[in-house]
Structure 1
Amino acid sequence: MEGNLLLEQFSRYKKLELEASPFHFLLDANIELNPHQINAFCAAIQALKTGGIVLADEVGLGKTIEAGLVLKYVLESGAKRVLIALPASLRKQWELELEDKFGLESVILDRLTVEKDSSDWRKRLTDNKSVRIVLTSYDYSSKLMKRFPEVKWDFIIIDEAHNLRNVFHGTKRAKNLYELSKGIPKILLTATPLQNSLTDLHGLVSFIDQRIFGSEKVFNKRYIEGQDYSDLKRELSPVLYRTLRKDVAKYMNFKKRTCKTVDFTLSQDEIELYQRVNDFLKRELLYSIPTSNRGLIILVIRKLLASSSFALIETFEILKNRLEKLYEGSKSANAQEGFDLFWSYVEDEIDESGFEETEDEDTIVQKQFIQAELNEVNIIIDVAKRIKTNAKVNALKTAIQVAFDYQLEQGIPQKVVIFTESKRTQKYIAAELRKTGFEDEDILLFNGDFDDAMTKEIYKAWQVKNFGKANYGRSVEYKHAIVDYFRNNAKILICTDAGSEGLNLQFCNTVINYDLPWNPMKIEQRIGRCHRYGQEHDVVAINLLNTQNAADQRVYDILSKKFELFEGVFGASDIALGALESGTSFEKMVLQIYQTCDTTAEFKKAFDKLDRKLNAKRDKKARELRSLLLTESSGAKEQALDTTKSDIARYLHDVEYWSAFDEPEVDSGLHYWKVDNWGEKVLGSHGILFIGAFCDSSKLLFPVLLLCDEKGAYIDFDEADLVPELEQIDDMDVRYFTPTESEMKLYQRIYDNLTAEMVKRYQEQSESIKAYNRRKIENWERIQMEQLIATYQDMNAEIDVLREEERASDNFYEKIDIRKKITEKSKALEKLQESFHEKGTGFKAEGEREIAEFEKQFDINPILLVNIVLKF
């Protein structure tokens, strides 16, 4: 900005402040600026000072974006080692998002990768000169921390954190990660932090800081038995941030989604194939499938059975190969070739020990069984090969026509994205569609492998077109190339679930589920590729339904009605998805029904039971519990989002305004300037303006424009009031002056007063976080005492039971034995009672120590750095 000496001097400090602002990370992130995400980010960086936060926005509101912003902030603040623990199936998606949206490089680590070169990984993880962001499955996260105990982790993100809520009674992986990550700042991401009971919250919040709620016993007593919900909300408020989709409807224009089904019936050969595979999978003894992973592999085969006969051939060839090896006498561990194909379909951890079974059965008997099973596998392969076309593909052609007709009518670009779970089916669908007249360039296949000729050509062309632009890394660029090609050239994108991760297809309004996963979360992710922020048209989800199969129809009804996946503005509702333990657990419940039921009546009974189970989790009580997560009213939420929206606008305006100023020509030492005829015009009086910064030693805390009257009394005008007035000053009117001795004394007095004023202002900024920490520690002291009292009551109750036993016994020796126990327990009880005061004092002292330690970080060496003293 041309000439304004005073504002130029002030811009020196203002630019530093803007760069240090958390909003600074919005400038180079490739994201939309949505107020709820910025609010969540600000809440998180505040909460990190006291352990962390659970970010619990509803599905589809961008928790990954919030986490990415926090991650940028943490790295800028000096963190070197970040661990991101998440379901194995989401690792690739996170790697792409971090690179694409935030320009951050991460590495996926698992046991095989690390053990291949453990000394090199130890070196890389302990080298603090470089930043290392590690993505790993829940299961391996704690194993990695144990494997390299010398690695100091600075920050942890746990995605889909509801999977770890049973930390104190449930999975070992949750307990291990909890123990190893104590004291490391972390954020947990989940749309459903409360699923079945309040104890879910206890588990998740304990990951942040176990002192907030104390032991489960104390938590249950206060919140479950005592139903002290107002206190619970108060305790949750600093450690849980949640936004519902209805809260942001005015910022994010969500379109509706609707659903259509296209029915089909199987041919005779397809019915035979279905029956044979179904009977095969229900066999009690199966040599072709490793024992410990049987459930998962059967689930995959059932998925492929619903996909296409062509996908099944490949699968049964793998089983055949295993059976032939076992028949020859190979160990199970040597007969696992090709099984990695199955792992790409499952989201659970694979137990590799399942391949190391011992063979203790009589070999001759075993060989007979293996031969019989091999015969059946060969018949299944023959029947599958007999089938030249699937009935379902004709239904798909109808679905595409329905979509294109509707799009033509509505003036929408003719485009559909087709989802299948199998690469083999993907190729088969493309071949069948080309036979019906679609050109090669109309159809695009994508599965994340980047290995077919067409996608390689598309990528090369994209690279040429985007030469010299930001380099995102190969896998992210590939996805950009695919999305660009689909937007501008192709009509049909045939995608696998793995391939679709990280694709944003809001320019396409139709999703066709060629095969429908049983996992509601996966369907939500599929539709969410198109039904997302930025979509301009209502989204249509088309499902293909086998009308002969009552079980398939029933599953579809549950997915459609119970989970509300296919209708409405927001897709799968929070309450509906909250009824799930997890998507994979629902999948397993459905698999169990397919595996154990034979008749229509059995299927009906089993699905009715599943229905009732899901209904029970959506009752009034479930809704009431979920309302506890809303720690502020919708009015307050709306106001907070409006405030943030204007804060962001002001920040972006400030960046633009202050960056227009050149670097000041005058140095940052102390200068005395004066200007005539300004004070009278602006304030109606004379006075002094101090321009500079308030610092902690040499670190800038905030820039200052401090106005005083001519007697030195501070006038509380803020920057927004003063800057427009300073713009009016002409540089020609500004000149140096030498202060008199009495002026110097006045300035010194004013300086001291202003320093005290700025210290007060700084302390007010940190007061809320200090108060929260004090309350948390005092709460912990109270919990410890409650725990002592509960232990005392339990011991008393045990003595009462023993006394009852003594009265009831008519055996002299037994009575003596019981009395001895009573005496021992009474002594222990007395000892506990005597220690009450001492323990209470100990808790108090420990609490005070922690409070003092925490508050030390806010101590400063205050310096008011004055650059210009302006007399007017």
Structure 2
Amino acid sequence: MSFALGQRWISDTESDLGLGTVVALEGRMVTVLFPATGDNRLFAIQDAPLTRVVFNQGDEITSAEGWKLTVTDLEESGGLITYLGTHSETGEEAQLRETLLDHQIRFNKPQDRLFAGQIDRMEYFVTRYLCQQQRHGMQQDALRALQGPRAGLIPHQLYIANEVGTRHAPRVLLADEVGLGKTIEAGHILHQQLLSGRAERVLILVPETLQHQWLVEMLRRFNLRFALFDEERCVEAFADSDNPFDTEQLVICSLDLLRKKKRFEQALEASWDLLVVDEAHHLEWSETRPSRAYQVVESLAEEVPGVLLLTATPDQLGHQSHFARLRLLDPDRFYDYEAFLQEESEYQQVAQAAESLLEQRPLNDAEIAALTQLLQEQDIRSALTAIQAGDDQARHTLLKQLLDRHGTGRVLFRNTRGGVSGFTARKLNRHPVALPTQYATAIKVNNMLGSGTVPAEQKVINNLYPEKLYQQFEGGSGSSWWQFDPRVNWLMEFLKQNRSKKVLVIASQAATALQLEEALRTREGIAASVFHEGMSILERDKAAAYFAQMEGGAQVLICSEIGSEGRNFQFAQDLVMFDLPQNPDLLEQRIGRLDRIGQTKDVQIHVPFIEDSAQQQLLEWFDCGMDAFEHNCPGGHLLHAEFGEPLLEVLAGNSDQLDSLIAQTAERAAEHKAAMEAGRDRLLEITSNGGADAQALVAAIEDADNNTDFISFMLKIWDVIGVNQDDRGENAVVLTPTEHMLFPSYPGLPDDGVSITFDRDTALSRDDFQFVTPAHPLVAAGIDLLTTSETGCTAVSLLKNKALPAGTLFLEMIYLAEAIAPAEAQLGRFLPPTPIRLLMDKSGKDLGSNIDFDSFNRQLTPINRHTGSKLVSASQAVLHPLIAAAETQVQTKLAALVAKAEQKMTDELGGELDRLKALKAVNPNIRDSELDAISEQMNLVRAHLGRAQIQLDAIRLIVVTPE
């Protein structure tokens, strides 16, 4: 390098310093001052990371005084350049010494950086283009939002999520039975709405006991970071805003918080796009006395465009309250209870017609007549002919039209275990043990001390959980009970005999769980993990991950009652209930940790119990009275409400009517089951499970999961950015930031790293792994880091090709077509940022459509920056006209892209608008606001497409060299 005082140079590694000036030359060192920032840098002359700034004819340069000069010629004297040209303000000839150039000059345009010698590595250029292609594909991928969550591919869940999540301001009631995934469905819908820009602000109202569960589920499964609001958080937020609900976009709070007038008014004043209400069956309503909770939700539902209500028992508070919840969703549609009942009575005919289409057989005359009557607004004769000829597609299309037009299927979704396959059997294994003398003595002494004054509730606790009572007498650490309790001995023997099995143990109390872990560890050295409410989220994740680890992990996970909420362990088949809960809903929650869709083997339920005790009595009531162990008992809460008091007396030892109680319970359970089966809305189930459409969604997402090109892309982008990747096996990679990354930080990547997997099954079994799909924040963050910086926007490569003369030039240019629009326009569906590639030969002809990027790139070899800069300087006379020619050609391609995007928008949105208009004529569930929203979106998209622009994103010079 040849330096002279006063020359202007730029730093290759710190381009944001602006234009530097050589201020000192001493021996082998050169000092450069960067006046824009006031920084001095000292470099070794031999290998300084600097590039000399030399402008060329036609360039417009800026002086330190602010006027501009269009360069016509250059003069060099004493190593310094004087630019000759035309003054931008006067139009007269002028000159500008390089020492007087504007210090703030930065080379942001790819062509400017190329001519300034700021040339990137070839792999950076390639990765930048791949990023633009990946982002383009992601924004047009209709399945990205469904593929992204850490959730199993359950057909009915995906169908509901896809059906509802793509609507404008959806207002629906999700009423699947316990274990069928309402929370997952709601999360899917939220994820789609947020990812597409249809929603930005969400309020979730849940019972106080479920706040934490929702917080964890939204983060772990959907990468949605909600804020948990309670009274303390509201007070703290007052420092940032008069309305605490304005301080966060995504909020979870309890319905109880909004019972306070002030908090309710603040929530109502905040602007929300979506409202989610869990356990909506608690919203009691009557025309004369609606509950306070119902009134709170009703007021919010009147203001918030989108509303999701969740309940597993829509009729729990009576059919009238069920109607009232539908009334929350659409008061104009559900205005009168009697009219609603009349309409419901007419669904049976539609259900029968739907059943006939599902049976895959020719239709009889009566069925044809019924279908013709139900779909009388259209001519279905050709469809019926095709069905009779065995055309399954015609059958499927007609069924969809039928379900579209009739029933409450657009506002209410309910799947039942009877209508959904995928559940394995449950088997109860009883393990009776004798009452230890220590417990017998503790119970006897306690009864003597109580002298008959002990409340029945406390007696039940003493009888069901004698270890607690014993610890009260023992004092101190209270841990010796596990040295003689026969249930502990049984558990140890069971674990030793089943070393290869993963076993989930649930006990009522955290202290019991901790002491059981101590017993297993100290007495038999059994590897156990503990999970209880006193642990942080991270600690719980680690405990669950240790249990899920197949090699070297814990054999057993011991949970307190909280272990029966929120976490699923389908990879295990053995559940040990060290004690029993008193509530049948908690019992079902415990079993539901293993008995879920996705479980591949029968669930073995083990109950060690003390013979002839309250433990056995409760076991008998659950098993013989409710059949709650081996079968789901959706009416358990009703049975407990009816028989809870006599059960309490039996367990307290105040009554000997257990046999009578069991008989009464069994009789009432049978009545509930018959009523529920008779009341199954078959039409609603057909609408809710999705049928063939749901199966097609699963197949499409499975194909997307198996896309190895995406995995290769992410590993490549992390390589380029400088993220360390440590392959840990078991489909796991640990990502950690390094000191050599191209950027100071990587959003979403913790300083201590993160474990990720691209495999869905691994993600489902390992809560400590993040599941990376195109929807994961790490993907968008990585793409944004590269594409919003200047990384890879220039390159010079060599092409070895005997068929071409040495020195032949090609100029490869990547343009970006883009239209900026509000998020609600969803412009990315039609014209996302789109890379347009031109490959210009020296005559100005575009060869890009004939020579694809990948095959061409494989023939190229990189070149060092210094040599590349010389080639660019020597080729400038050819390159400037090529760039000008490309600017003209790319405008034609932009016009074609815009026309194609507008046609796609018309086909998709216009087609949906026409479909809903036709439906509205026969189905009152179609709201005017839905139609208006689509019309507004079409106008918005059309307007912004007309303002689409193009800019050069990256440029590469290719020079042919001899073999």
- Shorter-chain TM-score: what band? 0.5 to 0.7
* Matches of 1:282 and 1:218, distance apart in 2: 60
Q: Contact 2:470–2:481 at 8 Å: present in 1 too?
A: no
1:501 and 1:781 map into 2 onto residues whose CA distance is: 39
Corresponding residue number in structure 1 for 2:331? 210
Does structure 2 conserve the Cα–Cα contact (< 8 Å) formed by 1:426 and 1:445? yes
- SS of match in other structure, 2:203: strand
Match of 2:173 in 1: 54
Match for residue 673 of structure 2? 618
1:464-508 superposed Cα distances (whole Å, 9 cap, x missing partner): xxxxxxxxxx52344324541685354444321125645454454
Are 1:89 and 2:209 an aligned pair?
A: yes
State the match for 1:856 in structure 2.
936
Q: How does 1:11-30 map to 2 (within 5 A)?
A: 12=132, 15-19=135-139, 21=141, 23-25=143-145, 29-30=149-150
1:512 aligns with 2:592: no
Match of 1:438 among 506, 524, 531: 524
* 8 Å contact kept, 2:544–2:557: no
Match of 1:591 in 2: 644
3-state SS in 1 of match to 2:686:
coil
- 1:631 aligned to 2:695? no
Name the CA distance, whole Å, in 2 between partners of 1:81 and 1:852: 21
Name the residue aligned to 1:134: 252
Amino acid in structure 2 at the alignment position of 1:423: A
Q: Which has the larger radius of gyration?
A: 2
Cα distance in 2 for residues equivalent to 1:261 and 1:737 = 81
Distance 1:853 1:486 in 2: 46
Question: Within 1, Cα distance between the matches of 2:415 and 2:896?
Answer: 43
Alignment equivalent of 2:493, drawn from 393, 398, 401:
401
Cα 1:75–1:612, aligned 2, differ >3 Å: closer, same or farther? same
Match runs of 1:558-707 below 5 Å: 558-560=621-623, 565-567=628-630, 572-573=631-632, 576-577=633-634, 579-580=635-636, 582=637, 586-595=639-648, 602-619=657-674, 622-632=677-687, 635-636=691-692, 639-642=695-698, 644-645=700-701, 648=704, 699-703=827-831
Q: How many angstroms apart in 2 are the aligned matches of 1:61 and 1:149?
A: 32
1:72-471 equivalences under 5 Å are 72-76=191-195, 77=197, 81-111=201-231, 113=232, 119-120=238-239, 123=242, 125-127=244-246, 130-137=248-255, 140=258, 144-146=263-265, 148-164=267-283, 171-184=291-304, 185-193=306-314, 199=320, 201-224=322-345, 234-242=406-414, 256-266=425-435, 270=439, 302-303=460-461, 305-311=463-469, 389=481, 393-405=485-497, 407=498, 412-413=500-501, 415-427=502-514, 429=516, 437-439=523-525, 442-450=527-535
C-alpha displacement of 1:517: 1.2
Unaligned runs of 5+ in 2: 1-121, 352-401, 718-785, 794-814, 835-847, 860-880, 952-963
Whole-angstrom CA distance in 1 between matches of 2:515 and 2:691: 53
| Larger proportion of helix | 1
Do 1:259 and 1:566's aligned partners in 2 also have CA atoms closer than 8 Å? yes
Cα 1:775–1:274 change in 2 (3 A) is: farther
Task: Name the SS for the 1:629 alignment partner.
Answer: helix
CA contact (8 A) 1:86 1:137 kept: yes
Cα deviations by residue, 1:589-622 (Å, 9 ceiling, x for unpaired): 4431134567766444444333333222211663
Write the distance in 1 (CA, Å) between the matches of 2:265 and 2:338: 29
Q: Percent identity?
A: 19
Letter in 2 for 1:87: P
Q: 1:12 to 1:281 in 2, by over 3 A?
A: farther
CA deviation after TM superposition for structure 1 residue 512, in Å: 1.3
- CA contact 1:80–1:154 (8 Å) conserved in 2: yes
1:134 partner letter: I
> In structure 2, the residue corresponding to 1:187 is in which secondary structure?
strand
Structure 1 distance, partners of 2:604, 2:532, is: 22
- Residue 262 of structure 1 aligns to a residue in which SS? strand
Q: 2: CA distance between counterparts of 1:629 and 1:89?
A: 30
1:195 and 1:147, CA in 2 relative to 1: closer, same or farther beyond 3 A? Answer: same
Mapped to 1, the partners of 2:560 and 2:691 lie a distance apart of: 42
Instruction: Give CA-to-partner distance per residue, 1:235-287, whole Å, 9 cap, x none.
Output: 422233455668876xx7x655432111134457756866898999999xx8x
> Which residue of the other structure, out of 45, 51, 56, is the alignment partner of 2:165?
45
Give the match for residue 546 of structure 2. 484
Q: Per the alignment, do residues 768 and 489 of structure 1 end up closer, same or farther by CA in structure 2, a change over 3 Å counting?
A: same
Q: Number of residue pairs matched? A: 641
Q: Which moved more, 1:174-183 or 1:597-606?
A: 597-606
1:480–1:44 distance in 2 versus 1, CA, 3 Å: farther
Distance 1:542 1:605 in 2: 26
Write the letter of the residue equivalent to 2:534.
D
Tell me the equivalent position of 2:90: none
Q: Following the alignment from structure 2 to structure 1, what is the Cα–Cα distance between the partners of residues 852 and 566?
A: 49
- Any idea what SS the aligned residue of 2:524 has? coil
Q: 2:619 — aligned with what?
A: 556
Give the whole-Å Cα distance in 2 for the aligned partners of 1:428 and 1:208. 49
Q: Is the 8 A contact 1:514 1:544 kept in 2?
A: yes
How far is 1:756 from its partner?
7.5
SS of match in other structure, 2:161:
helix
User: Given the superposition, is the C-alpha separation of residues 542 and 621 from structure 1 closer, same or farther in structure 2, using an over 3 Å criterion?
Assistant: closer
Q: Contact between 1:301 and 1:312, CA under 8 Å: does it hold in 2?
A: no
- CA 1:158–1:383: 2 relative to 1, 3 Å: same
Name 1:762's counterpart in structure 2.
905
Q: CA RMSD in A?
A: 5.8
SS at match of 1:258: strand
Report deviation, 1:78: 7.6
Q: Name the SS for the 1:618 alignment partner.
A: helix
**Cα–Cα, structure 1 residues 652 and 561, in superposed 2: closer, same or farther, change >3 Å?**
farther
Paired letter, 2:281: H
What is the match of residue 592 of structure 2? 528
C-alpha change, 1:145 and 1:432, in structure 2 (3 Å) is: same
- On the 8 A contact 2:301/2:329 being kept in 1, the answer is no
Amino acid at match of 2:340: F
- For 2:533, what is the secondary structure of its paired residue? coil
**Could you report, residue by residue, the CA deviation over 1:784-823 in whole angstroms, capped at 9, with x for unpaired residues?**
xxxxxxxxxxxxxxxxxxxxxxxxxxxxxxxxxxxxxxxx
TM-aligned CA deviation for residue 87 of structure 1: 2.7
Contact 1:400 1:416 in 2 (8 A): no
Unpaired segments ≥5 residues, structure 1 = 290-297, 315-380, 451-473, 668-690, 706-721, 784-846
| Cα pair 1:442 1:492 within 8 Å, conserved | yes
- Report the Cα offset of residue 394 of structure 1: 0.4
The one-letter code matched in structure 2 to 1:213 is F
Relative contact order higher in (CA < 8 Å, ≥ 6 apart): 1
> Compared with structure 1, are the counterparts of its residues 404 and 560 closer, same or farther at alpha carbon in structure 2 (3 Å cutoff)?
farther
Greater share of strand residues, 1 or 2? 2
| CA 159–36 in structure 1, closer or farther in 2 if over 3 Å, else same | same
- Describe the shift of the 1:510–1:730 C-alpha distance in structure 2 as closer, same or farther (beyond 3 A): closer
Tell me: CA distance 1:273–1:154, structure 2 relative to 1, closer, same or farther (3 Å).
farther
Residue pair 1:513, 1:542 contacting (<8 A) in 2 also: yes
1:631 aligned partner, one-letter code? I
